[in-house]
Amino acid sequence: MKTRTLGRTGLEVSRLGFGLAEIGGLELAASRQAARVLNLALDNGITFFDTAACYGNSEELIGRTIAHRRDEVILATKAGHVAGGYEGQAWTAQTIRDSIDRSLQRLRTDHLDIVQLHTCDIPTLERGEAIRVIQEAQQAGKTRFIGYSGDNEAALWAVNSGIFDTLQTSFNLVDQRARHDLFGPAVAQNVGIIVKRPIGNGVWGAASLPRAPSAPSDYAADYFARARVMLGLGPLPAMPDSGILLALGFAFAHEAVDTFIVGTQNPKHMQANIDWVNAALPIADAPVLELRRRFDQLHDPNDWVQLS
């Protein structure tokens, strides 16, 4: 598995990371299924695992199944939301502090590699309470590094603050604003870049359908609409056989991106992603350049912003 250094953290991470939101949808009784896909990822060199306090049973399933392989994992989680039966107010020091402690307990580890503030807005960042409490967690050895997970103006504030070691942000073939607004400043600050939603819900392959397929997320419908407009400009040159491979290749082609996270509960899907990254990337330059050209032609500064 190809690797990169994650910005100024110095952490060596796999280019393909594992997003654990989908695993979090499993019941705790499905730990055997979770173990299959988690161990498959580790056995094939995926080292970056991204979870969150608000990802259902994700943290607990990780702790139950692969805690004994902790040294093989760069483990990132997120804090700030009220989740998992916790009673409190989002973004307060107590909520974040309790969230970090609960993550440590559920993940069965004595430290995290990265704790990320999860999609809080600029006023919350400017108040400083949320930032202060994760800095305290870092000083206490509960996390090695701190990050911000989010998009648009709040993500740019986080990057320019000089406080955060990593940025997790949306980027894919139909959601490209990060390369205009965020990648340059992040690289200048040596902030590690973690890309979420790199396959864009698989919308490129679905864009030729008469209507959008049902999807669990609000942003998927917007992604589908954008894909249809972009596809309307004609077929892509040197198009790979798979829309998923196209999406992975598009994310991989951007030098600023250190790791891009894909989630699944299905070992076959995980293996396919691993095989593509190992054997089929990079893809040809032509479709990447054409996707960039189409996005730049079709979007304006007030439209097609990053979807959170």
For the segment 79-103, what is each residue's pLDDT rounded down to a tens digit? Answer: 998 988 888 899 999 999 999 999 9
Is the four-CA dihedral 41, 47, 52, 57 of positive or negative sign? positive
CATH class held by domain 3-199+251-282: alpha beta
Round to whole Å and give the CA distance between 244 and 26.
24
State pTM to two decimals: 0.95
Cis, bond preceding 282 (omega within 30 deg of 0): yes
For all residues of the chain together, what is the average pLDDT? 94
Show the tokens assigned to 175. 């959601």
- 212: pLDDT confidence band, cut at 50, 70 and 90? low
Encoded tokens for 211: 């209507």
pLDDT in tens, 227-278: 999 999 999 999 998 999 999 999 999 999 999 999 999 999 999 999 999 9
User: Hey, which residues does 116 pair with through a beta bridge?
Assistant: 78, 147
% of the chain beyond a pLDDT of 70:
95
258 Cβ contact list (under 8 Å, min separation 6): 4, 5, 6, 7, 13, 15, 192, 193, 194
